[in-house]
Chain A
């Protein structure tokens, strides 16, 4: 009689956890891809740890604080490594609804990943979409800051160049007007011994050499 009861229990258990059973999820691990040489072997102890993590996640759900490790059933473990799991209620007759299990796993995904040194891509819960980390958007986009810096530098450089150009031109104008002043002064002073500007040579002061006179006439008048 006892054997029959035992047989029945295992059969029910087996029926609860089956590939594509109701409320069952498939899990796939890629340990070698994630860890390379440091990969650990997937054995029954690791399975125990997994069941413990699932039970831990379920205990965080309100009304399910009494979930035990024995309520989590694993089956069809392959070499890949992949397997199916279900979570049963305390009576071990029904499985807990898929939505509850899904939300529990999603809440604690990070901790489950870290326990096994894996991430969302190498520890896959098929049919449970992972929540992707939202991008950290800074309040001001970085490119505007750099743009602003370069823009200000260009404006400053342009203004400096324009101002220096204006100053140069003003100095040149003043310089040429100064030269004109000196010439006027020299004209009014009359003859001078040396350092006479050439323009004043054909003025009243000084003697005109007749020989050069003929050369002057050869030149076309302005």
Chain B
């Protein structure tokens, strides 16, 4: 008797699982950066166009394919064509490599979350040096938040060659993060569905609280106005459109096999067209919502730093010229400076080199993305708020739920093909497979807790998923439209769900989206080739800032291996299937 495939308890769980998977850390730390760099408010135009033209069709394709075939990624693509099982294998490899490094972010979020329960927050003050007369030198040169991130959290080494030892604090947090993932994926959709309520909805609660708090902060409007003022000339820059397309593509999490896995647990009559539109719109709305919060925080931080800078200049002036304390304020600073320059020219010229030029625009212009934004900039803003412990706990809790939600999707992408395979599931129960996977992943990801771990993290983050996913999704689209047949698929979909396949989706699947992906693919390739040798940012403890260095050759080889390992699965599996069929046909021919 065939065991019935497990299903979501209700369609809402499926929807929330998809939302919690696609709304991840990229919405919080990549979209605001892109918005700021590529024209502020006017970036929304290419973003929304790409959403409709590229994001929604590809998302619908994956959900429909998964729901129709009712198997994980490998089984699905093998059903479409026996030679295309490699697409599923490639998806699994990419998902595996991504899961390895992605959970490190959750480990860091745990570390910061646990450290938020102290007064004062450990990243708000610099630790003292040996004779207690001043602060640690590295902390003085950088800032206390940077010191806490680079020294206390990562204990980063000066370059990628100095590997260093495993740091036990992040390692403990990493083990906890993997245990959390194991706990959530233990029973398959039963547990994932329930956890999805939490991981999908909690980030929005926190974002709303932060929105209210952020908008009421002093100087928030500076940030909002500066970031959202549209710079329409950026629309002519091709990089704007390319980045919009890339952001939509990676933000939705296409090509990993997670969406196929989630949709395979659906009832066949589920209306996945409606769900596609909901998920993609919610994802984009979350990005915009998160960037409003981020920009108000930026504005607060920039205004705070600007006022600090002014206060330092004022202090310098009244100390040098013995003016009465309190007479020089931010409003009359310029007049006082002119007066002093005219009255005491020699002394003023002595003081002038020490006076910093304070500018609100230059503070606002510092655009940061990635871990720097989440762990340095935000913590810097949080430490200046009242009741900073509460805001810190809320913020890192939100980062955790965002990260865990995406991790669940990733793990589902790897687990579903494994549990679908009759060979493996006959020997091992589902729980043991999950446990083994989490254990293996945990062991490998301890690599990211060594002193040079953050550099390896950046390598994985930049190279593992980019080219491979583009190729995978391209092959997927071509496979469904041309190998399986668009008309046949449309008819099956209509029979299954009851709603006909719109001409709009057909046109996009067959022509527009593949062309877009090919364009993106070529852009990335040319970018890599033209930029010559690849470089990275290393932390220099003596100077207290980041410096650019070149990757050594063995690291370049590893990067090439990472990219190739997933792409090569597609032709290899096709070749393997071809050879096996030849052998079987030859064998049966000799028997007959």
Alpha-carbon separation in the docked complex, A157 to B324 (Å): 65
A132 at the interface (CB under 8 A from B): yes
Instruction: For chain A, residues 120 to 149, give those with C-beta under 8 angstroms from any C-beta of chain B.
Output: 129-132, 134-135, 142-144, 146-147
Residue of A nearest to B111 (CB): A143
Q: Check if A135 sits within 8 Å of B187, measured CB to CB.
A: no
Which of B37-45, B155-163, B178-186 forms part of the interface with chain A?
A: B178-186
Q: Check if B172 sits within 8 Å of A147, measured CB to CB.
A: yes
Residue of B nearest to A129 (CB): B133
A31 to chain B: which residues have CB within 8 Å?
A: 325
User: Interface size class for chain B?
Assistant: 20 to 34
Which of B19-27, B64-72, B114-122, B569-577 forms part of the interface with chain A?
A: B114-122
Contact A165 B128, CB 8 Å, known A79-B322, A131-B133? no
A7 to chain B: which residues have CB within 8 Å?
A: none
The proximity string for B residues 395-406 relative to A, scoring 1 for CB distances below 8 Å and 0 otherwise, is 000000000000
Q: Check if A32 sits within 8 Å of B187, measured CB to CB.
A: no
B318 at the interface (CB under 8 A from A): yes
A169 to chain B: which residues have CB within 8 Å?
A: 429
B132 to chain A: which residues have CB within 8 Å?
A: 131-132, 134
Q: Check if A151 sits within 8 Å of B326, measured CB to CB.
A: no
Could you tell me the distance in whole angstroms from the C-beta of A186 to the nearest C-beta in chain B? 20
Instruction: For chain B, residues 169 to 206, give those with C-beta under 8 angstroms from any C-beta of chain A.
Output: 172-173, 176, 179-180, 182-183, 186-187, 191
Q: Check if A158 sits within 8 Å of B325, measured CB to CB.
A: no
Q: Check if A143 sits within 8 Å of B115, measured CB to CB.
A: yes
A81 to chain B: which residues have CB within 8 Å?
A: 324-325
Q: Check if B176 sits within 8 Å of A150, measured CB to CB.
A: yes
Instruction: For chain A, residues 31 to 54, give those with C-beta under 8 angstroms from any C-beta of chain B.
Output: 31-33, 39
A9 to chain B: which residues have CB within 8 Å?
A: none
Q: Check if B186 sits within 8 Å of A158, measured CB to CB.
A: yes
Q: Check if A147 sits within 8 Å of B114, measured CB to CB.
A: yes
Q: Check if A28 sits within 8 Å of B319, measured CB to CB.
A: yes
Could you tell me the distance in whole angstroms from the C-beta of B307 to the nearest C-beta in chain A? 14
Alpha-carbon separation in the docked complex, A106 to B252 (Å): 61
Q: Check if A154 sits within 8 Å of B187, measured CB to CB.
A: no
A161 to chain B: which residues have CB within 8 Å?
A: 183, 186-187, 191
Q: Check if A147 sits within 8 Å of B173, measured CB to CB.
A: yes
Highest count of chain A CB atoms <10 Å: which of B127, B132, B182 = B132
Alpha-carbon separation in the docked complex, A158 to B185 (Å): 10
A12 to chain B: which residues have CB within 8 Å?
A: none
B164 at the interface (CB under 8 A from A): no
Residue of A nearest to B175 (CB): A151
Select A82's contact among B176, B180, B322, beta carbons within 8 Å. Answer: B322
Alpha-carbon separation in the docked complex, A38 to B295 (Å): 37
A155 at the interface (CB under 8 A from B): yes
Alpha-carbon separation in the docked complex, A165 to B179 (Å): 17
Could you tell me the distance in whole angstroms from the C-beta of A27 to the nearest C-beta in chain B? 12
Q: Check if B183 sits within 8 Å of A158, measured CB to CB.
A: yes
- The total of Cβ contacts below 8 Å across the A-B interface reads 82
B183 to chain A: which residues have CB within 8 Å?
A: 154, 157-158, 161
Alpha-carbon separation in the docked complex, A154 to B127 (Å): 33
Q: Check if B186 sits within 8 Å of A162, measured CB to CB.
A: yes
Could you tell me the distance in whole angstroms from the C-beta of A130 to the nearest C-beta in chain B? 8
Q: Check if A80 sits within 8 Å of B128, measured CB to CB.
A: no
Residue of A nearest to B173 (CB): A147
Alpha-carbon separation in the docked complex, A82 to B318 (Å): 11
Could you tell me the distance in whole angstroms from the C-beta of B2 to the nearest C-beta in chain A? 14
Instruction: For chain A, residues 47 to 81, give those with C-beta under 8 angstroms from any C-beta of chain B.
Output: 78-81
Select A134's contact among B110, B128, B318, B325, beta carbons within 8 Å. Answer: B128
Q: Check if B176 sits within 8 Å of A151, measured CB to CB.
A: yes
Select A155's contact among B179, B191, B429, beta carbons within 8 Å. Answer: B179
Alpha-carbon separation in the docked complex, A131 to B183 (Å): 49
A129 to chain B: which residues have CB within 8 Å?
A: 133-134
Residue of B nearest to A82 (CB): B322
A30 at the interface (CB under 8 A from B): yes
Q: Check if A154 sits within 8 Å of B180, measured CB to CB.
A: yes
Select B179's contact among A29, A30, A158, beta carbons within 8 Å. Answer: A158
B111 to chain A: which residues have CB within 8 Å?
A: 143
Could you tell me the distance in whole angstroms from the C-beta of A124 to the nearest C-beta in chain B? 9
B431 at the interface (CB under 8 A from A): yes
A147 to chain B: which residues have CB within 8 Å?
A: 110, 114, 172-173, 176
Q: Check if A33 sits within 8 Å of B326, measured CB to CB.
A: yes
Could you tell me the distance in whole angstroms from the C-beta of B133 to the nearest C-beta in chain A? 5
Alpha-carbon separation in the docked complex, A197 to B183 (Å): 41
A-B contacts, 30 of them at CB < 8 A, read A28-B319, A32-B324, A32-B326, A33-B326, A79-B323, A79-B324, A80-B318, A81-B325, A82-B319, A82-B322, A129-B133, A129-B134, A130-B133, A131-B132, A132-B128, A132-B132, A132-B135, A135-B128, A143-B111, A143-B118, A147-B110, A147-B114, A150-B114, A154-B179, A154-B183, A157-B183, A158-B179, A161-B183, A165-B187, A165-B429
**5 nearest CB pairs, A to B:** A32-B326, A143-B114, A78-B322, A80-B322, A79-B324
Given A132-B128, A132-B134, A165-B429, 15 additional A-B pairs, CB 8 A? A39-B326, A80-B323, A82-B322, A129-B133, A131-B133, A132-B132, A135-B128, A143-B111, A143-B114, A147-B176, A150-B176, A151-B176, A154-B180, A162-B431, A165-B187
Chain B residues packing against A (C-beta within 8 Å): 110-111, 114-115, 117-118, 125, 127-128, 132-135, 172-173, 176, 179-180, 182-183, 186-187, 191, 318-319, 322-326, 429, 431
